[in-house]
Chains A and B, each alone.
Chain A
């Protein structure tokens, strides 16, 4: 859709005033819209740059590996970092199988009827319900009704339900990109629906599904509200370098929660600490997302059909 280079409109044959006016409008529109698009790129660059500059004095491996000291006014973020890994890992383990199977149902089994429409609407809604409502649900369902208490388990399950639509949407897209003729060829040699899915559909879409799973990780890592009332706490004493400090029934710290805490609840924090926490959180999330994007670009280049 790229515009072909044309000679200057003034010298061109048939360049009546009307045509000139139209083309000026066209140029103005292009610049205005371009500026609007540019105004979207600018915040990302500006925010990342500003946060990096402010965070610089604290930033380093030492910041991630050290535990918070002096009431979180000094030291690092190790317990929060590990806590986020726990929450993301467990929510992924819960959400990935359900999400992938649900997507298989929607793409391979469901017919276009009222049930399918209802499920689609439910998936859209699950993605659209405010995160604080998910938090209330997690509190009512997992903490109290299921008696999991304020724990990593409750927080992870809340995150899992919240991020389910991410996995369903991208897995569906991956499954839908496998051409129908592949399935028909398989059915024609007598394979059942499930045999076709296992032997043909899944192997041809596995990388796309992986992309969705990666996106779930990035989403789960950044959420704050759903874990705030279900299992994440302000502070938890953890030994330096301890890789397995929590158990399922424990409460834990989390990066997103830690950023909220140190930037709003703790007075007299050294200025660079909240910035450095924000950079680590933002950096992890963007890195995970960039991985998913790179995987997708690579896949598109490799695709043979």
Chain B
């Protein structure tokens, strides 16, 4: 080695264009970073902007909108915009779906995370991912064709597209979400908990029941909430599978209509700018806040896990 290599080199400065280019790129990255916030705000802004004028319209009363079950948006003489029947439709379909999906979803999550072999687990996770990827319109089609025939054959109901059909289809759609998030929650419980339980002589089932489920409680709650969010917001599947009657159901085999399906069914016929059109946007605002609340609740539940 010559002595020259040991002498410190003069500090090289990067060319100006390189520094400037980096600045530009970093600005673009920062702007993209906050874009999600901007989009969520824009969604609310643009929906509310279309909906707002109806709030002062003479045919519209906010209490009637929320608490009346009379929905006659196209009536010439007696226009009524009451969404209670639609809200009850959404609630009943969601409740049925969650009642079916939670045991299967959490049971599946426990099995995938705790009971099965590595190879089986990888296979099941792939199947769950594929199940979650099935488009909602295909689920709706399945409800319309397959499930409705099954329901008519089993129950003797006159029509197969009803509350039960929608609930089963939504349950099938929510299960993959509950399983994958629930499995994450169980995986997040430290292995030392399992080892401690096994060292005390607990069987794997006792470990699950007494140690893992309580420890992963918040994450499992988040999984259920995200399943609820999916069920509330689902549009095409319930549009095709629940029938179209706007009334408060008093049995599993009755047709219902949900808030989402109602917008999808009527938006095409409502002239832009009419009160009907604006009320549908107002329904959108309502749905926006409902799903926002559910998602924030799920996020808080998960955050509770991390804190611990």
Contact = CB atoms under 8 A, between A and B. Distances in A.
A188 interface: no
18 contacts: A2-B117, A22-B205, A34-B116, A36-B104, A40-B124, A40-B175, A54-B145, A104-B29, A124-B298, A130-B235, A130-B291, A135-B263, A140-B49, A161-B39, A164-B39, A195-B22, A225-B235, A263-B144
Nearest to A275: B145
Q: Is the interface of A mostly helix, strand, loop or mixed?
A: helix
B138 A37 contact: no
A286 interface: yes
Contacts of B229: 128
Interface string A127-161: 01111111111011100110000000000000001
A232 to B, nearest CB: 11
A131 B130 CA distance: 20
Given A36-B108, A36-B111, A228 B264 contact: yes
A278 interface: yes
Contact of B134 (A29, A194, A228, A285): A285
Interface of B: 22, 25-26, 28-30, 32-37, 39-40, 42-43, 46-47, 49-50, 103-104, 107-108, 110-112, 114-118, 124, 126-131, 133-138, 140-142, 144-146, 172, 175-176, 179, 203-206, 208-209, 226, 229-230, 232-236, 240, 260, 263-264, 267-268, 272, 280-281, 284, 287-288, 291-292, 294-296, 298-299
Given A224-B235, A281-B138, 7 more contacts: A26-B206, A104-B29, A104-B33, A119-B36, A136-B281, A137-B46, A164-B35
A290 B126 CA distance: 9
A105 B32 contact: yes
Q: By CB atoms of chain A within 10 A, which of B138, B142, B284 has the most? A: B138
Contact of A222 (B28, B136, B240): B136
A282 interface: yes
B21 to A, nearest CB: 9
Q: By CB atoms of chain B within 10 A, which of A30, A118, A133 has the most? A: A133
B260 A130 contact: yes
A133 B36 contact: no
Interface stretch (A43-51, A68-76, A175-183, A237-245): A43-51
A263 B233 contact: no
Contact of A132 (B25, B116, B230, B235): B235
A109 B33 contact: yes
Q: Is the interface of B mostly helix, strand, loop or mixed?
A: helix
Contact of B115 (A33, A47, A122, A139): A33
A45 to B, nearest CB: 9
Please list the 10 inter-chain residue pairs (A to B) with the smallest Cβ-Cβ separation, ordered nearest first.
Answer: A222-B135, A105-B33, A130-B233, A36-B107, A101-B32, A33-B111, A29-B205, A140-B46, A26-B203, A122-B36
Contacts, number: 271
Contacts of A102: 32-33, 35-36
A132 B287 contact: yes
A260 interface: yes
A137 B51 CA distance: 11
A129 B235 CA distance: 11
A224 B135 contact: yes
A281 B50 CA distance: 33
A62 B292 CA distance: 45
A137 B43 contact: yes
Interface string A209-236: 0000000001101111100110000000
A168 interface: yes
Contact of A136 (B176, B205, B263): B263
Interface residues of A, number: 90
B233 A129 contact: yes
A263 B145 contact: yes
Contacts of B43: 129, 133-134, 137, 161
Contacts of A97: 32
Contacts of B47: 133, 136-137, 140
Given A3-B204, A218-B133, A285-B134, A37 B107 contact: yes
Contacts of B176: 40
A263 B141 contact: yes
Interface string A13-33: 000000000110110111011
A105 B179 CA distance: 30
A64 interface: no
A10 interface: no
A30 B26 CA distance: 52
A3 B236 CA distance: 43
B129 A293 contact: yes
Contacts of A22: 203, 205-206
Given A133-B288, A218-B133, A37 B111 contact: yes
Given A33-B115, A225-B264, A26 B25 contact: no
A31 to B, nearest CB: 9
A125 B135 contact: no
A126 interface: yes
A6 to B, nearest CB: 11
Contacts of B35: 98, 102, 164
Contacts of B32: 97-98, 101-102, 104-105
Contacts of B111: 30, 33-34, 36-37
A123 interface: yes
A41 interface: yes
B251 to A, nearest CB: 24
A3 B116 CA distance: 8
B135 A223 contact: yes
A208 to B, nearest CB: 15
